[in-house]
């Protein structure tokens, strides 16, 4: 092999050669995307640091969909070795999020499995043992350099101060190491990167190459003995037999490190094969900037509070990099599972468009069975003080009766479940006067008082048994439009505002039938008195 440059190539497909050293002549096919393993094992491994965000959910969704499509295994573990940032509250929120979204898993926290424990905070002995084996085999070495010393050496060598680690400790003699220990220093452990290009076939991006020397030796264990993500993540993947790693584009720069570590783990008999990698595109927010945890639209629970339903939100998140078919945006999770292949995910950044997300959610709201729609709406109605309880069965008979009648009127007109209260609240209220919304009052013209007077006179003579949608429509149309000479907008607008307090409401005459004669007339008189 003298004089022939070498590459460390993580080959695609299910070949037994994955992760081996090959000559430059043994090229992988440029821009090809490898075949998936016969039995796919993927994982979702968030850190419990803050509120779940849409980027995290998109990662979970794509892993789940790939596992379900391939009839493989979806592993859910928690990477919680950072005691400073991790919290039990965040852990519980992640569980809450996945359960709300109906993203289930086959092995992992809460459900168990053959490779537990599934929380990294409970696997310290495993990482300690692997680190010792890497050190003994020479794949890792003790590094005593402090950040200040590394910066000083970079400056002295004419490199940028923040250039990074320079490999100083790679070949320390035992005498030098003893001297550092005598000074009271405790070493970090660094992985020894080979002087080779690292090339792999990304499931989404095709052939990717990192030049030799572009990735410095990196720390896998801190001087205090704490293992870093750079060690724990690949070790867990290896021991849990993960063979497809789907993660965000922001982690792409760490992939050559993982490939090299995997090669060492394979040579030590800890890993069986090199996994395939697929790096999903960034999710962008406003101004074409990467969506941040601090951006409101990234907050998963804020979307839930506003009334997104799981079907609608997941459908939209699936579109952030993938599509089921040209010119088709709305689909079920069952349809996604049937069609999903991570190799079809686009590499280009995806933009989170809240308006489009809401529009897609509206489609899914309209597809709900009426009773399902009502069951899901009740918690929002209770939160907003519109009904007496937070579950359908606990409502009063009158509340259930009104909501059942209102569902066909409200369901097609709301986009989010959080909007149901505004649409149905007036129907559930027994108040004789509803203060109009600001925009509703603005639409009232000078003729509103006269219109209300004529409407009251026309409706007072209607018998309770004749208080029906079509009859009410015909009566008011005759009194206000045909005989009164008002245009429909000026005729029915004040009546709508009086009945609902809103500029946009459920259909007017159906609402009047639900409310009944006494409440409807009381509201017409109430608005008339407040003009």
Provide, for the chain, the percentages of residues in helix, strand and coil under a 3-state DSSP scheme, each rounded to the nearest 5.
50, 10, 40
Q: Binding site annotation covers 293?
A: yes
Alpha-carbon distance of 67 to 427, in angstroms, equals 46
The residues, ordered by sequence, that sit 6+ positions from 237 with a Cβ below 8 Å of its Cβ are 43, 245, 275
290 assigned to active site: no
DSSP state letter for 168: T
Q: Which two tokens stand for residue 315?
A: 């459908």
Q: Rounded distance, CA 525 to CA 80, Å?
A: 63
CA 278, 283, 287, 293 dihedral sign is negative
- Give the separation between CA 416 and CA 312, rounded to whole angstroms: 10
- Cα dihedral: 45, 46, 52, 56 (round 10): -60
Name the 3-class secondary structure at 46.
Answer: coil
CA atoms within 13 Å, Cβ hemisphere of 156: 7
> Are residues 190 and 165 in contact, defined by beta-carbon separation less than 8 angstroms?
yes
**Please, how many CA atoms are within 13 Å of residue 371, restricted to the half-sphere of its CB?**
2
> In whole angstroms, how far apart are CA 444 and each of 447, 479, 483, 490, 497?
8, 19, 20, 8, 8
Rounded distance between C-alpha atoms, residue 98 and residue 100, angstroms: 5
Please give the DSSP secondary-structure letter assigned to residue 415: S
Q: Which residue has the tokens 């993500």?
A: 229
Largest CA distance in the chain: 108
Token digits of residue 1: 């092999």
φ, ψ at 24 (rounded to 5°)? -60, -30
Length reported for the chain: 531
Count other C-beta atoms under 10 Å from residue 314's C-beta: 25
Annotated active-site residue in 133, 272, 293, 517: 293
28: DSSP letter:
P
- SS3 state at 238: helix
Report which secondary-structure segment, H or E, holds 71: none
> Which positions make up the binding site for ATP?
293
Residues annotated as part of the active site: 293
């Amino acid at each position: 092999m003298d004089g022939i440059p070498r590459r460390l190539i993580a080959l695609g497909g299910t070949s037994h050669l994955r992760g081996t050293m090959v000559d430059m002549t043994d090229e992988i096919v440029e821009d090809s995307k490898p075949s998936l393993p016969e039995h796919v094992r993927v994982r979702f491994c968030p850190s419990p640091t803050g509120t779940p965000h849409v980027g995290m959910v998109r990662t979970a969704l794509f892993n789940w969909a790939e596992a379900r499509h391939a009839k493989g295994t979806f592993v859910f573990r928690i990477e919680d070795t950072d005691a400073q940032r991790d919290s039990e509250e965040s852990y519980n929120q992640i569980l809450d999020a996945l359960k709300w979204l109906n993203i289930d898993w086959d092995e992992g926290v809460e459900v168990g499995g053959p490779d537990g424990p599934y929380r990294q905070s409970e696997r310290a002995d495993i990482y300690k043992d692997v680190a010792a084996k890497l050190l003994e085999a020479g794949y890792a070495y003790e590094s005593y350099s402090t950040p200040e010393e590394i910066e000083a050496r970079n400056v002295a060598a004419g490199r940028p101060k923040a250039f990074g680690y320079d490999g100083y400790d790679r070949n320390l003699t035992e005498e030098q190491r003893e001297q550092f220990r005598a000074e009271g220093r405790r070493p970090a452990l660094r992985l020894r990167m080979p002087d080779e290009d690292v090339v792999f076939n990304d499931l989404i991006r095709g052939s990717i190459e990192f030049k030799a020397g572009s990735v410095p030796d990196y720390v896998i264990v801190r001087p205090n003995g704490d293992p870093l993500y750079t060690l724990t993540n690949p070790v867990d993947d290896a021991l849990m037999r993960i063979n497809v790693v789907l993660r965000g584009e922001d982690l792409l720069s760490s992939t050559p490190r993982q490939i090299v570590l995997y090669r060492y783990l394979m040579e030590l008999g800890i890993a069986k094969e090199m996994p395939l990698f697929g790096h999903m595109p960034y999710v962008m927010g406003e101004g074409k900037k990467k969506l941040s945890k601090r951006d409101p639209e990234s907050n998963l629970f804020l979307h839930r509070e506003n009334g997104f339903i799981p079907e609608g939100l997941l459908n939209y998140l699936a579109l952030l990099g993938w599509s089921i078919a040209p010119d088709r945006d709305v689909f079920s999770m069952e349809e996604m599972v049937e069609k999903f292949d991570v190799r079809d995910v686009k590499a280009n950044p995806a933009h989170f468009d809240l308006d489009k997300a809401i529009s897609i959610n509206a489609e899914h709201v309209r597809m709900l069975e009426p009773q399902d729609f009502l069951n899901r709406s009740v918690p929002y109605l209770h939160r907003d003080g519109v009904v007496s309880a937070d579950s359908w069965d606990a409502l009063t008979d009158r509340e259930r009766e009104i909501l059942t009648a209102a569902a066909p009127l409200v369901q097609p007109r709301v986009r989010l479940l959080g909007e149901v209260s505004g649409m149905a609240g007036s129907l559930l209220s027994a108040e004789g006067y509803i203060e109009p919304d600001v925009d509703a009052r603005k639409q009232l013209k000078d003729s509103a008082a006269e219109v209300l007077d004529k409407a009251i006179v026309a409706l007072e003579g209607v018998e309770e048994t004749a208080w029906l949608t079509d009859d009410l429509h015909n009566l008011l149309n005759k009194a206000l439009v045909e005989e009164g000479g008002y245009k429909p907008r000026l005729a029915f607008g004040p009546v709508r505002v009086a009945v609902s307090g809103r500029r946009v409401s459920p259909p007017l005459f159906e609402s009047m039938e639900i409310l009944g004669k006494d409440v409807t007339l009381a509201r017409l008189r109430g608005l008339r008195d407040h003009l």
